[in-house]
Amino acid sequence: MDFGDFSKFEQNFLNGKLGVFADKYVRMRIVWTPEQLSDDFLKHIEDELVADIIYLQNFNDNRRPGFNPIRSMEWLSSRRGHTWVLNKATTKYNKDKDVARRGSPIAERVRFGDSGTKMFYDINFGLQGPNSHSRVTTEEYRNIDLNPWTIKHVNHELQTKHGTDLKTILYNLPLNSSLVDITDHWLGNYYYDENNPALIPLLKTFRSTFYYYVYKGKYYASAESLGEDRFTPDSQYYQYGFDLCVLNFHQQQGAVFDIKDFTEEERPLKIILNQLANEAGIDYHAVSPNNLGVNADHFFTTYQNYFNSKHIS
């Protein structure tokens, strides 16, 4: 069976499935090949068929007689289906390789600041607007002339959406003395170059929220790890916010920092926070305030590679 044997509606269905997947795929990877896109899309379809098999079997649209999503999606696993996907992936690569080579934004959304007040900020890269989870089109993405999460990009987002800038925010947020030392040092040594990665204070969420769970005094990374106990009144979940965040697009790395001392009882939480950061594709560092040194020099000496637009050897 060839692609042309499907009805026009089925062809649009398959084109739509691949198009939505490919648009996200192109933007969120540093480099990719048509073969990688093809293989990952087919694996995605396989997982989707397994997850939604009951829904798909019961799918019935009287407005589209003869439409069978299972038949359409299972065709993709055939030899001719593989060839069709690879050809489409190759066409997209030739069209959008400039976007693919641009690099991952690392995060698409950042919410930070003093939550519950006017000093709470929602900025993004490549999304349609505040509180939107919809991505801009690939063509719109191509036309963005800012590198994500640089000082220039963050200030543009803040000025456009909140009428302020990062320097003003850092001076006015209610930060503890250790964070003030760090942010003052950063403003004096990095803020002058708008191509440097922005230092983001009091990170609350990326596109997804950072949650952990507590049951009878013990920490858990997910509700699933609690099993049936997650349904009991003793099970509680909490949203976690990190003290500082830096996302270095130029080096394709990022980190979140907690400037605090963890107690012995909190060590399992520290492990969970490291796991949450790694799942988001960035590093986690817990820094004791006692190790900051005078004017936070030790902090920036230790973690300088995160804060410069170019690699420091």
Give 242 or 99, the one with higher predicted confidence: 242
Angle, helices 79-100 vs 34-57, to 10°: value is 120
241-258: pLDDT as tens digits: 999 999 999 999 999 999
What is the pLDDT averaged over residues 69-86? 89
Confidence band for 52, pLDDT divided at 50, 70 and 90: low
Place of tokens 């009951």: 54
Output the pLDDT for position 313. Answer: 45
Q: Say if residue 176's pLDDT is above 90.
A: yes
Confidence band for 31, pLDDT divided at 50, 70 and 90: low
Q: Tokens for 114, please give them.
A: 């003093």
Domain ranges of the chain: 3-100, 109-307
Across the chain, what does the average pLDDT equal? 87
Output the pLDDT for position 64. Answer: 58
Q: Say if residue 199's pLDDT is above 70.
A: yes
Taking every pair of Cα atoms in the chain, the longest distance, rounded to a whole number of angstroms, is 73
Output the pLDDT for position 260. Answer: 94
Confidence band for 309, pLDDT divided at 50, 70 and 90: confident
Q: Tokens for 247, please give them.
A: 């996302």
Q: Say if residue 104's pLDDT is above 50.
A: yes
Residue 289: closest CA among 180, 189, 201? 180
What is the pLDDT averaged over residues 114-130? 90
155-167: pLDDT as tens digits: 999 999 999 999 9
Query: How many other CB atoms sit within 10 Å of the CB of residue 88?
Result: 20
Q: Give Cβ neighbours of residue 216 (< 8 Å, ≥ 6 apart).
A: 234
In the Cβ-directed half-sphere of 272, how many Cα atoms lie within 13 Å?
A: 22
Q: Say if residue 263's pLDDT is above 80.
A: yes
Confidence band for 62, pLDDT divided at 50, 70 and 90: very low
For residues 11 and 111, what is the distance between their CA atoms, to the nearest angstrom? 39
Residue 238: closest CA among 215, 216, 266, 211? 211
Confidence band for 67, pLDDT divided at 50, 70 and 90: low
For residues 120 and 132, what is the distance between their CA atoms, to the nearest angstrom? 17
